[in-house]
Chains A and B, each alone.
Chain A
Amino acid sequence: MRDYFLRRLLLIPPTLLGVTIIVFAITRLVPGGPLERAIMETQQMSQAGGGQMAGQGMAISDEQLEALKEYYGFDKPILQSYAEWLGKVVTGDLGSSYRYNEPVWDVIKERFPVSVYYGVVTLILTYVVCIPLGILKAIRHRTFVDNLSSLLIFVGYAIPGYALGSLLILFFAVRLEWFPMGGFVSFNYGELSTMEKALDLINHSLLPLICYLVGSFALVTLLLKNHLMDNLAADYIRTAVAKGVSFRKSVTRHAMRNSLIPIATTFGQNITLLVGGSFLIETIFDIDGFGLLGLSSILDRDYPVVMGVVLLASLLLLIGNIISDVLVALVDPRIRFS
């Protein structure tokens, strides 16, 4: 058991190396990088209008171009740049963002609270709703309640969260003006009392949470329902009931525990909530969380942030998988890693 986990832990660095090399190579191979953006911004587009447009009527010399390349780190061969990036990462330095001119870690850290909030709330609500619902559906199999909830769950599962988000905004925020159109909290959040702050947060969270939840309900509910029904039909439950254990107890004490095993197997992945967040939902609701950061860093060609996000997400996913294995080993006595 210990050796197994040691092996798994030792596999993390090479896996990360592989992932980051691939992403790093992609950032070098795709056309149009931060350098082009810098040149375009000055030479071509005057979004501002007015003012001195120094970029026009001027040509940039080769030396100046080289200096710009050096600033963005595009002056060295790819392997050398990668080695330098890796050397810094080992010391805990993820580099500096092109877009924000701040350490990548600071940029990423600022997005944590938002994503963790949505991640944890989604997680709690999912389990709080789905576990009782799964039990209910298993016990009331093929009744009206079961069929209706299945219908709703599958409809929710079939609708992409971001599409639902657009519809919700149009109907509840624009047409009825019940909710704000987006954002994490109101602009005057700092001036509110604690109670008002909580209400404001809930007011802003409701629509995005619906989008996050519709997709996640189906999996957990049906996983639990099906396993619970398998277990309820198993001999040991019949034995327990025959020995005089009440039906309720045999469900909660015996069948439930075994039915939770498959749910425990996916539980470790919840660590990725730290870097979770759907970029589509966050974009639609203008929530400045991790998903949006990942998307905008790619669009902005902010490669140091892209690399930081990829590294962190991969690392957490790998750790999450190991945690899942640990949990499975703990809750399921039949499993022994060797």
Chain B
Amino acid sequence: MKQRPSSKWLLMLAALFLAGCGGESGGGGESDAASATIDNTAEVEADYAAEPDFYRFKTLDDLPADLVWENGADLPEIGSPEAKKGGTRYIALPDFPRTLRTAGPDSNGAFRPYILDNVVTLIAHLHPDEREFYPALAESWALDPETSTVYVKLDPAATWSDGVPVTTDDFFFMFWFYKSEYIRAPWYNNWYGTQYTNITRYDDRTFSITSASAKPDYASRVLELHPRPRHHFKELGEDYLERYQWRFTPTTGAYVLRDGDLKKGRSIVLTRNKDWWAKDKKHFRYRYNPDRVQFNIIRDTPKRFEAFKRGDIDQFGLALSEYWYEKLPDSDPDVQAGYIAKSVFYNEYPRPPYGLWMNTSQPLLDDLNVRLGVQHASNWQLVIDQYFRGDAARLKTANEGFAEFNDPSIEPREFDISKAQAYFAAAGFTERGPDGILVNAEGQKLAFTLSTGYENLADVMTILKQEAQKAGLELRIEILDSTTGWKKVQEKQHEIHLVAFGRFLEMYPRYWEHYHSDNAYDDAFLDDGSINPDRELKTQTNNLEAFADFEMDGLIDRYRASQDKDEMVELSHQILNLHHEHASFSPGWYQPSLRLGHWRWIRYPDYFNHRYISTIDDLWVHWIDTDLKKEVLEARKSGKTFPPKIQVYDQWKP
């Protein structure tokens, strides 16, 4: 019997071994994709010189003498004197940050607030209760409404986290940076390229910035700017995206990312800068208290909640009724034992306009009667009562939360089957087919596709669909992933779409992007105001209703040009009423409160209910009581309990 050599078995082993090779340890180190040296000093200075009207260099002697300097320093303190520094805060992110850049593709993610939006110090900040400015980078500022110019004196103490002082050069460079095509952010290019006309240097710490127009909020458009560190971006060039992908930009804020604290795909740790320039400054000294902020990645929301219940993360937003009432009810053992506190408070903030955006360029939806019928066939109250357990409120218009710019007299249309049917009848839909859906004389069904890019709102869509059926309207639900949904509305392929736009705290709503015919059609009207028969639908704009109305165009043009607040308020009311009559947007709901579950060791000031904030983390007024944390963790083991802590702050309840 011939013995086959055992080398064959060795071969099999080798194959197994082969399968085990090739995996060299890939660390989380920085990518050195870009290593060539770049120095853009000459380029930047040449650009300054090429735009002498925009970038102006003067001396202190040129500063107007009659300026009235103000500093908002007497506004009430933010945060609590009781706050203690120390401890580690644990946060779970749904995905690993795509980049540490704060501009350019992929930079506007869930992580950015922690390195920019909620921690950076601006020239000055709007006070969260008073809506007036308190000083941050600025020691003081002066306003000149005549020329819509803001003069700024920087705080001499202001430094970047790497110790370099913040100077006028960083603000000059901010404009160069945001207008540069290297950053691949056309929106920034547009904003910084059109909203401002000049920056003037008087000395290292004194400068002025002029807005393109003396809008009533021209001051906030300047005061809420944050500089870019000139010294850090010496190498900014064509390869900006790769070169700065994982570089932490020096910050004027309290938290820094130290070398080695970013483990790609796994975790990030931010550390409180003990030498932060503003650590003793009023309005800042009681904030940004945790020593460390540890982020880990948990992709799945239910799993994040379980991690919170374990104590792996400190707090969890409970905006969804399912979480507030069922997953963490007041009767939950951890809540009853006082380990986990529940807090709810109301805020006043421009509301994202959740509702139905009807594309009036689609057949049938160009008929006002059909749109009015759809409005009365949309049962938002049932959505609010069932899906939101009555905790949401009905949105009245698409631009809610802008104080006097809102028109409180506008009432959204109620769900009313007989009214809906009357409007549908006026549009020719009088007969019901065998399936109960209305048809017109040509046999055309009254049916639309109701699409959305919010996969989590499937239940809302179902309620709307079922209720609309009662009025003889068929809504075919189409739930897409977010990018596909967005593509659909940007290409104006939708019929009726459920979506909301991000809103942030500013004085007045922006109407041009949504309701001006510039963003609906190419050359929508002829000179006499009649409809241009050759007009083409315009894609890639935020006018999702294809709203084109000659009168509206006039109102919006005046509103954009106006520099008088009272006139703008008046125009805003007219615009809102015209939009309401047009009935192409069915206002849905908004959530007037912020709800939070947090472990007892996360402490908030007793006065915790700031009026104008959008998220709990906007201000970083909480602190970690490390002794209490030990106590709570031991109590969980021993069974000791605390009094339950369920707090409601309803002073700003609508």
Contacts and interface: CB of A to CB of B under 8 A. Distances in A.
B26 interface: yes
Interface in B488-531: 488, 490, 499, 501-505, 510, 512-513, 518-519
A40 B22 contact: no
A173 B542 CA distance: 45
A59 interface: yes
Nearest to A119: B19
Given A39-B490, A181-B312, A49 B186 contact: no
A31 B483 CA distance: 8
Contact of B482 (A40, A43, A119, A330): A40
B184 A71 contact: yes
B483 A36 contact: yes
A175 B578 CA distance: 56
A323 B48 CA distance: 64
Contacts of B309: 174
Contact of A56 (B26, B186, B513): B513
B653 interface: no
Nearest to A106: B31
B554 to A, nearest CB: 18
A101 B99 contact: yes
B15 A67 contact: no
A115 to B, nearest CB: 8
Given A36-B486, A42-B187, A48-B117, A110 B504 contact: no
A58 B98 contact: no
B20 A169 contact: no
A40 B20 CA distance: 42
A139 interface: no
A52 B26 contact: no
Interface in A88-105: 96, 98-103
Given A51-B117, A112-B26, A113-B23, A268 B31 contact: no
Contacts of B502: 44-47, 49, 53, 56
A283 interface: yes
A301 interface: yes
A283 B282 CA distance: 45
Contacts of A181: 298, 303, 306-307, 310, 312
Interface size for chain B: under 10, 10 to 19, 20 to 34, or 35 or more residues? 35 or more
B48 to A, nearest CB: 22
Interface stretch (A78-86, A241-249, A270-278): A270-278
B472 to A, nearest CB: 31
B185 A42 contact: yes
A97 B519 CA distance: 33
A50 interface: yes
B24 interface: yes
A284 to B, nearest CB: 7
Interface in B1-52: 4, 8, 11-12, 15-16, 18-20, 22-28, 31, 33
Contacts of A177: 310
Interface stretch (A19-27, A182-190, A214-222): A182-190
B273 to A, nearest CB: 20
A169 B303 contact: yes
B121 interface: no
B299 interface: yes
A119 B18 CA distance: 12
A288 interface: yes
B323 interface: no
Given A112-B22, A181-B312, A331-B8, A64 B189 contact: yes
B26 A113 contact: yes
Contacts of A113: 23-26
Contact of A183 (B16, B191, B266): B266
A174 B110 CA distance: 25
A101 B245 CA distance: 7
A286 B504 contact: no
A32 B505 CA distance: 30
Contact of B15 (A45, A56, A268): A268
Nearest to B266: A288
A115 B16 CA distance: 15
A32 B22 contact: no
Contacts of A283: 299-300
Interface string B285-329: 000000000101111100100110110100000000000000000
B300 A46 contact: no
B224 interface: yes
B421 to A, nearest CB: 35
Interface stretch (B101-109, B134-142, B433-441): B101-109
B490 A36 contact: yes
Given A182-B303, A267-B12, A283-B299, A50 B310 contact: no
A287 to B, nearest CB: 10
A111 B116 CA distance: 29
A264 interface: yes
Given A40-B486, A41-B108, A101 B242 contact: yes
B270 to A, nearest CB: 13
A57 interface: yes
Contacts of A273: 19
B481 to A, nearest CB: 7
A327 interface: yes
A175 to B, nearest CB: 10
A57 B512 contact: yes
Interface in B109-139: 109-110, 112-113, 116-118
A59 B189 CA distance: 11
Contact of B192 (A54, A57, A67): A54
A56 B481 contact: no
B116 A286 contact: no
A301 B484 CA distance: 11
B181 interface: yes
Nearest to A41: B108
B513 A99 contact: no
- Greatest chain B CB density within 10 A among A48, A112, A123, A296 is at A48
A308 to B, nearest CB: 15
10 contacts: A48-B118, A49-B504, A52-B224, A54-B192, A56-B502, A57-B512, A58-B191, A59-B513, A181-B303, A264-B12
Given A42-B187, A54-B178, A327-B15, 10 more contacts: A40-B486, A42-B108, A48-B117, A50-B504, A71-B184, A102-B33, A106-B26, A116-B23, A183-B296, A187-B266
Q: 10 smallest A-B Cβ distances: which pairs?
A: A46-B502, A110-B26, A32-B484, A32-B483, A54-B191, A64-B186, A116-B23, A288-B265, A57-B510, A112-B23
